[in-house]
A = this chain, B = another copy of it.
Amino acid sequence: MIVVMKSPCSDQDIKHVLTCLENHSLTGHLSHGVERTVIGVLGAVGPSGAPGSIGGINPTLGETLEGLSGVESVLRVSKPYKLASREFHPKDTVVEVPDACVSKGVVSIGGSEVVMMAGPCAVESEKQLMRAAEAVRKEGAVILRGGAFKPSTSPYGFRGLGEEGLKLLAKVRSELGIAVITEVMTPTDVPMVCEYADILQIGTRNMQNYMLLDEVGRIRKPVVLKRGMSATIEEWLLAAEYILSQGNRNVILCERGIRTFEKLTRNMMDISAIPLIKQLSHLPIISDPSQGTGRRDLVGKMTLASVAAGTDGLLIEVHPNPDEALKDGAQSLAIEQFRELMPQVDAVAQAIGRTLVTK
Protein backbone atom coordinates (compact mmCIF):
# COMPACT_ATOMS: atom_id res chain seq x y z
CA MET A 1 0.00 0.00 0.00
CA ILE A 2 1.25 3.46 -0.88
CA VAL A 3 0.03 6.69 0.68
CA VAL A 4 0.30 9.73 -1.57
CA MET A 5 0.38 13.01 0.36
CA LYS A 6 -1.10 16.28 -0.83
CA SER A 7 1.27 18.92 -2.12
CA PRO A 8 2.04 20.77 0.03
CA CYS A 9 1.36 18.88 3.26
CA SER A 10 2.59 19.56 6.77
CA ASP A 11 5.10 17.54 8.78
CA GLN A 12 2.27 17.08 11.23
CA ASP A 13 0.19 15.33 8.58
CA ILE A 14 3.05 13.00 7.68
CA LYS A 15 3.66 12.18 11.32
CA HIS A 16 -0.03 11.44 11.74
CA VAL A 17 0.05 8.90 8.92
CA LEU A 18 3.14 7.22 10.33
CA THR A 19 1.54 6.93 13.76
CA CYS A 20 -1.59 5.46 12.28
CA LEU A 21 0.53 2.84 10.49
CA GLU A 22 2.38 2.02 13.68
CA ASN A 23 -0.93 1.51 15.45
CA HIS A 24 -1.57 -1.22 12.89
CA SER A 25 1.92 -2.73 13.39
CA LEU A 26 3.08 -1.44 10.04
CA THR A 27 6.04 0.68 9.04
CA GLY A 28 5.92 3.67 6.73
CA HIS A 29 8.79 4.35 4.38
CA LEU A 30 9.05 8.02 3.41
CA SER A 31 10.08 9.09 -0.07
CA HIS A 32 10.24 12.80 -0.90
CA GLY A 33 9.76 13.26 -4.65
CA VAL A 34 10.17 16.42 -6.69
CA GLU A 35 6.51 17.23 -6.32
CA ARG A 36 5.15 15.29 -3.43
CA THR A 37 5.85 12.97 -0.56
CA VAL A 38 4.89 9.35 -0.84
CA ILE A 39 4.78 6.84 2.02
CA GLY A 40 5.34 3.19 1.21
CA VAL A 41 3.74 0.82 3.69
CA LEU A 42 5.84 -2.13 4.75
CA GLY A 43 4.39 -5.19 6.43
CA ALA A 44 1.44 -7.39 5.65
CA VAL A 45 -1.78 -5.55 4.94
CA GLY A 46 -4.94 -7.44 4.38
CA PRO A 47 -5.79 -10.98 3.44
CA SER A 48 -2.64 -12.20 1.81
CA GLY A 49 -0.33 -11.42 4.68
CA ALA A 50 0.25 -12.88 8.09
CA PRO A 51 -2.55 -15.00 9.57
CA GLY A 52 -3.33 -12.24 12.04
CA SER A 53 -4.57 -9.97 9.34
CA ILE A 54 -7.23 -12.34 8.12
CA GLY A 55 -10.63 -11.61 9.57
CA GLY A 56 -9.25 -8.48 11.10
CA ILE A 57 -9.37 -4.78 10.64
CA ASN A 58 -6.78 -4.27 7.96
CA PRO A 59 -8.96 -4.36 4.85
CA THR A 60 -10.36 -1.01 5.94
CA LEU A 61 -7.01 0.55 6.76
CA GLY A 62 -6.85 2.08 3.31
CA GLU A 63 -10.13 3.88 3.90
CA THR A 64 -8.95 5.17 7.23
CA LEU A 65 -5.74 6.50 5.69
CA GLU A 66 -7.68 8.16 2.87
CA GLY A 67 -9.58 10.12 5.47
CA LEU A 68 -6.50 11.53 7.22
CA SER A 69 -5.60 15.17 6.84
CA GLY A 70 -3.02 15.81 4.12
CA VAL A 71 -3.60 12.50 2.36
CA GLU A 72 -4.31 12.78 -1.35
CA SER A 73 -4.94 9.14 -2.15
CA VAL A 74 -4.06 5.61 -1.14
CA LEU A 75 -2.83 3.19 -3.79
CA ARG A 76 -3.22 -0.52 -3.19
CA VAL A 77 -0.44 -2.71 -4.47
CA SER A 78 -1.71 -6.16 -3.46
CA LYS A 79 -4.88 -7.74 -4.72
CA PRO A 80 -7.59 -7.87 -2.06
CA TYR A 81 -8.49 -11.49 -2.82
CA LYS A 82 -6.15 -14.37 -2.19
CA LEU A 83 -7.75 -17.81 -2.52
CA ALA A 84 -9.37 -16.81 -5.80
CA SER A 85 -6.14 -15.49 -7.32
CA ARG A 86 -3.99 -17.29 -9.81
CA GLU A 87 -0.95 -16.22 -7.85
CA PHE A 88 -2.16 -18.32 -4.94
CA HIS A 89 -3.16 -21.28 -7.13
CA PRO A 90 -1.39 -21.15 -10.51
CA LYS A 91 -3.04 -24.24 -11.99
CA ASP A 92 -6.56 -24.14 -13.43
CA THR A 93 -9.22 -25.40 -11.06
CA VAL A 94 -11.37 -28.06 -12.68
CA VAL A 95 -14.78 -28.55 -11.05
CA GLU A 96 -16.19 -32.03 -11.45
CA VAL A 97 -19.92 -32.68 -11.56
CA PRO A 98 -21.25 -36.26 -11.35
CA ASP A 99 -23.37 -36.70 -14.42
CA ALA A 100 -24.93 -40.00 -15.49
CA CYS A 101 -25.72 -38.79 -19.00
CA VAL A 102 -22.09 -38.74 -20.13
CA SER A 103 -20.05 -41.85 -20.61
CA LYS A 104 -17.36 -40.84 -18.10
CA GLY A 105 -20.05 -40.35 -15.46
CA VAL A 106 -18.67 -36.94 -14.65
CA VAL A 107 -18.51 -33.57 -16.39
CA SER A 108 -15.37 -31.47 -15.90
CA ILE A 109 -15.76 -27.69 -15.95
CA GLY A 110 -12.58 -25.67 -16.38
CA GLY A 111 -10.55 -28.19 -18.36
CA SER A 112 -10.17 -28.55 -22.11
CA GLU A 113 -13.82 -29.27 -22.80
CA VAL A 114 -16.63 -26.80 -23.32
CA VAL A 115 -19.82 -27.67 -21.39
CA MET A 116 -23.34 -26.78 -22.50
CA MET A 117 -25.97 -26.19 -19.81
CA ALA A 118 -29.42 -25.54 -21.21
CA GLY A 119 -33.07 -25.63 -20.32
CA PRO A 120 -35.99 -23.35 -19.53
CA CYS A 121 -35.60 -20.14 -17.55
CA ALA A 122 -38.20 -21.34 -15.04
CA VAL A 123 -39.60 -24.78 -14.26
CA GLU A 124 -43.27 -24.42 -15.16
CA SER A 125 -44.64 -27.97 -15.29
CA GLU A 126 -43.45 -31.53 -15.59
CA LYS A 127 -44.42 -31.65 -19.23
CA GLN A 128 -42.63 -28.41 -20.11
CA LEU A 129 -39.51 -29.41 -18.22
CA MET A 130 -39.37 -32.93 -19.61
CA ARG A 131 -39.85 -31.73 -23.18
CA ALA A 132 -37.13 -29.13 -22.78
CA ALA A 133 -34.78 -31.55 -21.04
CA GLU A 134 -35.18 -34.27 -23.63
CA ALA A 135 -34.65 -31.81 -26.43
CA VAL A 136 -31.52 -30.13 -25.06
CA ARG A 137 -30.04 -33.49 -24.06
CA LYS A 138 -30.69 -34.82 -27.55
CA GLU A 139 -28.78 -31.88 -29.05
CA GLY A 140 -25.84 -32.42 -26.73
CA ALA A 141 -26.39 -30.37 -23.59
CA VAL A 142 -25.00 -32.28 -20.59
CA ILE A 143 -26.45 -30.19 -17.75
CA LEU A 144 -30.06 -29.13 -17.37
CA ARG A 145 -30.87 -25.64 -16.15
CA GLY A 146 -34.25 -24.62 -14.73
CA GLY A 147 -35.31 -22.17 -12.03
CA ALA A 148 -37.54 -23.23 -9.16
CA PHE A 149 -36.94 -19.99 -7.25
CA LYS A 150 -37.08 -17.01 -9.60
CA PRO A 151 -36.09 -13.45 -8.72
CA SER A 152 -38.70 -11.15 -10.25
CA THR A 153 -38.23 -7.39 -10.47
CA SER A 154 -41.95 -6.98 -9.87
CA PRO A 155 -43.71 -8.48 -6.85
CA TYR A 156 -46.53 -9.35 -9.22
CA GLY A 157 -44.33 -11.44 -11.48
CA PHE A 158 -43.89 -15.20 -11.55
CA ARG A 159 -41.58 -16.22 -8.73
CA GLY A 160 -41.24 -19.91 -9.45
CA LEU A 161 -42.77 -23.15 -8.23
CA GLY A 162 -40.41 -23.45 -5.24
CA GLU A 163 -39.86 -26.92 -3.82
CA GLU A 164 -42.35 -28.38 -6.26
CA GLY A 165 -40.08 -27.14 -9.04
CA LEU A 166 -37.06 -28.73 -7.36
CA LYS A 167 -38.88 -32.04 -7.24
CA LEU A 168 -39.65 -31.85 -10.93
CA LEU A 169 -35.99 -31.18 -11.64
CA ALA A 170 -34.98 -34.20 -9.55
CA LYS A 171 -37.51 -36.38 -11.32
CA VAL A 172 -36.27 -35.40 -14.77
CA ARG A 173 -32.71 -35.88 -13.58
CA SER A 174 -33.41 -39.40 -12.41
CA GLU A 175 -35.19 -40.26 -15.65
CA LEU A 176 -32.63 -38.80 -18.07
CA GLY A 177 -29.51 -39.10 -15.95
CA ILE A 178 -28.66 -35.46 -16.68
CA ALA A 179 -27.11 -33.27 -13.95
CA VAL A 180 -29.09 -30.27 -12.81
CA ILE A 181 -28.27 -26.63 -11.98
CA THR A 182 -30.76 -24.39 -10.20
CA GLU A 183 -30.78 -21.10 -8.28
CA VAL A 184 -30.86 -20.65 -4.52
CA MET A 185 -31.95 -17.28 -3.21
CA THR A 186 -31.69 -17.32 0.56
CA PRO A 187 -29.50 -19.06 3.16
CA THR A 188 -32.28 -21.14 4.71
CA ASP A 189 -33.06 -22.77 1.37
CA VAL A 190 -29.51 -24.06 0.81
CA PRO A 191 -29.99 -27.50 2.40
CA MET A 192 -33.19 -28.11 0.47
CA VAL A 193 -31.73 -27.08 -2.88
CA CYS A 194 -28.66 -29.24 -2.19
CA GLU A 195 -30.92 -32.23 -1.85
CA TYR A 196 -32.25 -31.93 -5.38
CA ALA A 197 -29.55 -30.22 -7.46
CA ASP A 198 -26.01 -30.96 -8.62
CA ILE A 199 -24.93 -27.34 -9.00
CA LEU A 200 -26.26 -24.36 -7.04
CA GLN A 201 -26.51 -21.03 -8.75
CA ILE A 202 -26.18 -17.62 -7.06
CA GLY A 203 -27.96 -15.03 -9.19
CA THR A 204 -26.74 -11.58 -10.15
CA ARG A 205 -28.86 -9.82 -7.50
CA ASN A 206 -27.35 -12.00 -4.78
CA MET A 207 -23.67 -11.72 -5.68
CA GLN A 208 -23.20 -9.61 -2.57
CA ASN A 209 -25.71 -11.40 -0.35
CA TYR A 210 -22.94 -12.29 2.04
CA MET A 211 -24.89 -14.57 4.31
CA LEU A 212 -25.92 -16.61 1.32
CA LEU A 213 -22.29 -16.75 0.13
CA ASP A 214 -21.21 -17.91 3.59
CA GLU A 215 -23.85 -20.63 3.50
CA VAL A 216 -22.93 -22.05 0.11
CA GLY A 217 -19.31 -21.84 1.26
CA ARG A 218 -20.11 -24.40 3.92
CA ILE A 219 -21.35 -27.03 1.48
CA ARG A 220 -19.17 -28.88 -1.02
CA LYS A 221 -21.41 -28.95 -4.06
CA PRO A 222 -20.32 -26.80 -7.03
CA VAL A 223 -21.60 -23.22 -6.98
CA VAL A 224 -22.05 -21.03 -10.06
CA LEU A 225 -21.56 -17.42 -8.99
CA LYS A 226 -23.05 -14.94 -11.43
CA ARG A 227 -21.49 -11.53 -11.75
CA GLY A 228 -23.47 -8.75 -10.12
CA MET A 229 -25.05 -6.49 -12.69
CA SER A 230 -22.79 -3.63 -11.76
CA ALA A 231 -19.96 -5.54 -10.12
CA THR A 232 -16.35 -4.91 -11.01
CA ILE A 233 -14.21 -7.95 -11.66
CA GLU A 234 -12.47 -7.35 -8.36
CA GLU A 235 -15.75 -7.33 -6.43
CA TRP A 236 -16.80 -10.49 -8.21
CA LEU A 237 -13.61 -12.27 -7.22
CA LEU A 238 -14.08 -11.03 -3.66
CA ALA A 239 -17.54 -12.58 -3.66
CA ALA A 240 -15.93 -15.84 -4.82
CA GLU A 241 -13.42 -15.39 -2.01
CA TYR A 242 -16.32 -15.45 0.49
CA ILE A 243 -17.29 -18.92 -0.71
CA LEU A 244 -13.71 -20.18 -1.00
CA SER A 245 -12.76 -18.90 2.43
CA GLN A 246 -15.53 -21.00 3.98
CA GLY A 247 -13.95 -24.08 2.47
CA ASN A 248 -15.92 -24.71 -0.71
CA ARG A 249 -13.39 -24.76 -3.56
CA ASN A 250 -15.93 -25.71 -6.25
CA VAL A 251 -16.69 -22.21 -7.45
CA ILE A 252 -17.53 -21.48 -11.09
CA LEU A 253 -17.86 -17.86 -12.21
CA CYS A 254 -20.53 -16.85 -14.72
CA GLU A 255 -20.48 -13.72 -16.89
CA ARG A 256 -24.05 -12.64 -17.54
CA GLY A 257 -23.80 -9.06 -18.71
CA ILE A 258 -23.51 -5.79 -16.91
CA ARG A 259 -25.56 -2.66 -16.82
CA THR A 260 -24.67 0.18 -19.17
CA PHE A 261 -26.42 3.10 -20.84
CA GLU A 262 -27.36 1.09 -23.96
CA LYS A 263 -31.10 0.56 -24.27
CA LEU A 264 -31.38 -1.99 -27.08
CA THR A 265 -30.08 -4.87 -24.99
CA ARG A 266 -31.18 -5.82 -21.49
CA ASN A 267 -27.57 -6.19 -20.33
CA MET A 268 -24.20 -5.84 -22.03
CA MET A 269 -22.04 -8.97 -22.02
CA ASP A 270 -18.50 -8.26 -20.99
CA ILE A 271 -16.77 -10.84 -23.18
CA SER A 272 -13.37 -9.49 -22.13
CA ALA A 273 -14.13 -10.71 -18.61
CA ILE A 274 -13.55 -14.25 -19.85
CA PRO A 275 -9.84 -13.92 -20.73
CA LEU A 276 -9.34 -11.46 -17.87
CA ILE A 277 -10.68 -13.89 -15.26
CA LYS A 278 -8.50 -16.60 -16.77
CA GLN A 279 -5.47 -14.39 -16.08
CA LEU A 280 -6.40 -13.23 -12.60
CA SER A 281 -7.92 -16.42 -11.26
CA HIS A 282 -7.71 -20.20 -11.50
CA LEU A 283 -11.49 -20.61 -11.31
CA PRO A 284 -13.57 -21.79 -14.28
CA ILE A 285 -15.76 -19.25 -16.02
CA ILE A 286 -18.93 -19.84 -18.02
CA SER A 287 -21.20 -17.48 -19.99
CA ASP A 288 -24.90 -16.78 -19.96
CA PRO A 289 -25.76 -15.14 -23.28
CA SER A 290 -29.51 -15.38 -22.62
CA GLN A 291 -29.40 -13.06 -19.60
CA GLY A 292 -26.37 -11.35 -21.11
CA THR A 293 -28.34 -9.91 -23.99
CA GLY A 294 -32.01 -10.38 -23.17
CA ARG A 295 -32.65 -10.97 -26.86
CA ARG A 296 -33.11 -14.33 -28.51
CA ASP A 297 -31.75 -13.00 -31.80
CA LEU A 298 -28.36 -12.26 -30.23
CA VAL A 299 -27.92 -15.44 -28.17
CA GLY A 300 -26.33 -17.49 -30.95
CA LYS A 301 -23.63 -15.01 -31.91
CA MET A 302 -22.79 -14.23 -28.27
CA THR A 303 -22.48 -17.94 -27.57
CA LEU A 304 -19.93 -18.27 -30.35
CA ALA A 305 -18.08 -15.15 -29.21
CA SER A 306 -17.88 -16.54 -25.67
CA VAL A 307 -16.42 -19.80 -26.92
CA ALA A 308 -13.86 -18.00 -29.07
CA ALA A 309 -12.86 -15.90 -26.05
CA GLY A 310 -12.25 -19.03 -23.98
CA THR A 311 -15.38 -19.70 -21.95
CA ASP A 312 -15.50 -23.06 -20.14
CA GLY A 313 -19.22 -23.47 -20.55
CA LEU A 314 -22.54 -21.92 -21.48
CA LEU A 315 -25.84 -21.45 -19.73
CA ILE A 316 -28.60 -21.02 -22.29
CA GLU A 317 -32.34 -20.68 -21.96
CA VAL A 318 -34.26 -23.04 -24.23
CA HIS A 319 -38.02 -23.40 -24.06
CA PRO A 320 -40.19 -25.88 -25.95
CA ASN A 321 -42.56 -23.01 -26.68
CA PRO A 322 -40.99 -19.63 -25.93
CA ASP A 323 -44.17 -17.73 -26.81
CA GLU A 324 -45.89 -19.29 -23.82
CA ALA A 325 -43.01 -19.06 -21.38
CA LEU A 326 -43.99 -17.76 -17.95
CA LYS A 327 -40.63 -15.97 -17.71
CA ASP A 328 -38.08 -14.47 -20.07
CA GLY A 329 -39.70 -15.69 -23.26
CA ALA A 330 -37.95 -12.97 -25.25
CA GLN A 331 -34.53 -14.39 -24.57
CA SER A 332 -35.28 -18.12 -24.76
CA LEU A 333 -34.27 -20.10 -27.81
CA ALA A 334 -36.76 -22.39 -29.43
CA ILE A 335 -35.56 -25.98 -29.72
CA GLU A 336 -34.90 -25.65 -33.46
CA GLN A 337 -32.69 -22.63 -32.82
CA PHE A 338 -30.75 -24.54 -30.19
CA ARG A 339 -30.37 -27.44 -32.61
CA GLU A 340 -28.86 -25.15 -35.23
CA LEU A 341 -26.53 -23.56 -32.74
CA MET A 342 -24.84 -26.67 -31.32
CA PRO A 343 -22.76 -27.64 -34.39
CA GLN A 344 -21.60 -24.03 -34.68
CA VAL A 345 -20.47 -24.10 -31.04
CA ASP A 346 -18.58 -27.28 -31.76
CA ALA A 347 -16.93 -25.81 -34.84
CA VAL A 348 -15.70 -22.70 -33.03
CA ALA A 349 -14.54 -24.77 -30.06
CA GLN A 350 -12.51 -26.94 -32.38
CA ALA A 351 -11.08 -23.91 -34.16
CA ILE A 352 -9.48 -22.87 -30.87
CA GLY A 353 -8.40 -26.38 -29.92
CA ARG A 354 -11.19 -27.37 -27.55
CA THR A 355 -14.13 -29.72 -27.86
CA LEU A 356 -17.76 -29.49 -26.91
CA VAL A 357 -18.53 -32.38 -24.56
CA THR A 358 -21.82 -34.01 -25.51
CA LYS A 359 -21.70 -37.61 -24.36
Contacts and interface: CB of A to CB of B under 8 A. Distances in A.
Given A155-B238, A232-B264, A323 B63 contact: no
Contact of A263 (B65, B263, B271): B263
Interface in A293-314: 293, 296-298, 301-302, 304-310
B154 A59 contact: yes
Interface residues of A, number: 120
A4 interface: yes
Q: Oligomeric state, in number of copies? A: 4
Contacts of A307: 308
A43 B31 CA distance: 12
Contact of A272 (B47, B234, B298, B327): B298
Interface string A244-255: 010000000000
B34 A49 contact: yes
A201 B151 CA distance: 21
A321 B113 CA distance: 36
Contact of A68 (B77, B323, B344): B323
Interface string A313-341: 00000000011111111111000000000
A296 B279 CA distance: 13
A46 B260 contact: no
Interface in A333-353: 344, 347-348, 350-352
B351 A33 contact: no
7 nearest A-B pairs in the assembled complex, by CB-CB distance: A230-B230, A67-B330, A308-B308, A64-B329, A304-B308, A351-B351, A66-B330
